[in-house]
Amino acid sequence: MSKLRIAVIGANQLDPDHHLALNHLSDQGRVAAYALDSPSSELGFEPLRDAMHTEALDAVILAGHRGDIREWSRFALQNDWPVYVTHPVAPTIEDMIEIRRAEQSADQPLLQFGSFARHHESAIAARTKADSGAYGHLLTLRAVCGVDLQETEGSLIYDLGAQMVDLMQAFAGPFQDISGVCDRDRGPTSGLTSNLLATLRTHDDVLASVHLSATQWRPTFRLELGFEHGYMWLEGLNHQSHNFGQEALVYARTDDGDASHETVDRYEHSHGAKTALEGFLARIGDRAAAPAIGTSQDAFDTLNTLQRILAADQTLAPQLERHAS
């Protein structure tokens, strides 16, 4: 199979996890990546339009500023080009709606968002155990995602926070009832330094809580899952930008009320972004054969949950309404 030729829009802003994944795929001879650092404007679209006309490229990876996601996605989808967005969500619900309209209007749409935490080895192993039915129904989730303020270059809520919420929804499905509170931002960028606490419930009555923090001295990425017949903890995350500690899955089953011996499986490598990109490449080759992952519906559900948490805060909600108007 020949290399797939991919234009990386905003390559100078590509996150380390996707950068490492692309390097691995390039070393394997599966992709040839070309940097294109142009703005989302008619002038910026010209190099990509020229590449389309000469059939010099096969797909597009969007890695630039989050504010450019909508225009670049719409342009590529309107030209029936496969699109991988490294960000887990678009900036706003309105952006997501416009992107999904372009996706639905395309002849052969292929759009994937970069929610790669669900593709890490610990998450895949936990999903396999949960899907086996041996643990019974999922009852509760408790999540903590926190980093040191000084280590955060982008928005915690719409980056790592979105990764965590997407991971929670991978196990529980979309949340129906949501309440939340946020502290006041301590920096110049909205969402950059917030603490966010929320309680959530799904249609199937799965209860959840999540704490997203950019003022936590000890980086933490933890998801606790409580089942009818046992528990699982996803502890740590092998991540290129933050030291969350070695990734591990802690689990035990209960039989007749007695907990079995607790087992801890540890994982050495960070394959989440690479697995997500491999799924994207597989769908380029055969959209029907390969399963859809990181869909626009997943991204919409995650962003909708985050926006509803922010809107539930009685102090923040009026500010959001003024901004929307």
270-291 pLDDT, tens digit each: 788 999 999 999 998 777 777 7
3-state secondary structure of 50: helix
- Reported as a pLDDT band with limits 50, 70 and 90, residue 292 is confident
Cα(164)–Cα(160) distance, rounded to whole angstroms?
6
Percent of the chain scored above 70 by pLDDT? 87
- pLDDT value of residue 302: 96
Residue type, 64: G
For the residues 28-41, what does the mean pLDDT come to?
Answer: 78
Report the DSSP pairing between strands 59-62 and 4-9: parallel
Q: Which of 42-56, 116-130, 210-224, 274-288 has the lowest mean pLDDT?
A: 42-56
Tell me the C-alpha distance between 117 and 222, whole Å. 12
Select from 85, 120, 121, 81 the least CA-distant residue to 284: 81
Which among 56, 309, 95, 318 has a CA at the least distance from the CA of 200? Answer: 309
Res. 10: pLDDT tops 80: yes
Check residues 38 and 128 and name the one with the higher pLDDT.
128
Distance, CA of 261 to chain centre:
33
Beta strand 258-259 with 247-255: parallel, antiparallel or unpaired? antiparallel
CB atoms within 10 A of CB 168: 26
Task: Provide the pLDDT confidence category of residue 86 given band limits of 50, 70 and 90.
Answer: very high
Strands annotated E in 42-171: 59-62, 83-85, 111-113, 138-146
Record the pTM.
0.88
- What does the alpha-carbon distance between residue 136 and residue 127 come to, in Å, rounded to a whole number? 13
Query: What pLDDT is recorded for position 325?
Result: 35
**pLDDT confidence of residue 154:** 58
Question: If you average pLDDT over residues 226-253, what whole number do you get?
Answer: 91
Query: Is 142 a residue whose pLDDT tops 90?
Result: yes
pLDDT tens, residue by residue, 36-83? 766 666 556 777 777 777 777 889 999 988 888 999 999 999 888 899
Highest mean pLDDT among 183-192, 202-211, 314-323: 202-211
Whether 2 and 55 have beta carbons less than 8 Å apart is answered as no
Token pair 């643990």 is at which residue? 135
* Cβ-contact 88, 302 below 8 angstroms: yes
Sequence-separated (6 or more) residues with CB below 8 Å from residue 41: 71
What pLDDT band is residue 324 in, cutting at 50, 70 and 90? very low
Which residues lie below 8 Å from residue 304, measured CB to CB, with a gap of 6+? 93, 174
Q: Which parts of 79-195 fold into alpha helices (H)?
A: 93-105, 121-131, 160-172
Q: Are 169 and 298 in contact (CB under 8 A)?
A: yes
Question: In the numeric block, which tokens belong to residue 41?
Answer: 């404007």
Pairwise CA distance, residues 268 & 286, whole Å: 31
Of the two residues 287 and 157, the one the predictor is more confident about is 157
Asked whether the predicted pLDDT for residue 152 surpasses 70, the reply is no
pLDDT at 149: 64
C-alpha 275/C-alpha 291 separation (Å) is 13
Set out the domains of the chain in order of their start, with CATH numbers: 4-113 (3.40.50.720), 117-269+306-319 (3.30.360.10)
Instruction: Retrieve residue 21's tokens.
Output: 């994944």
Q: 43: how many CB neighbours lie within 10 A of its CB?
A: 9
Angle at CA 63, nearest 5°, toward 8 and 308? Answer: 150
Residue pair 33/22 in contact by the 8 Å Cβ criterion: yes
How far is 313 from 11, CA to CA, in rounded Å? Answer: 36
Q: Is 158 in a helix, a strand, or coil?
A: coil
* 277 sits in which H/E element: helix 272-285
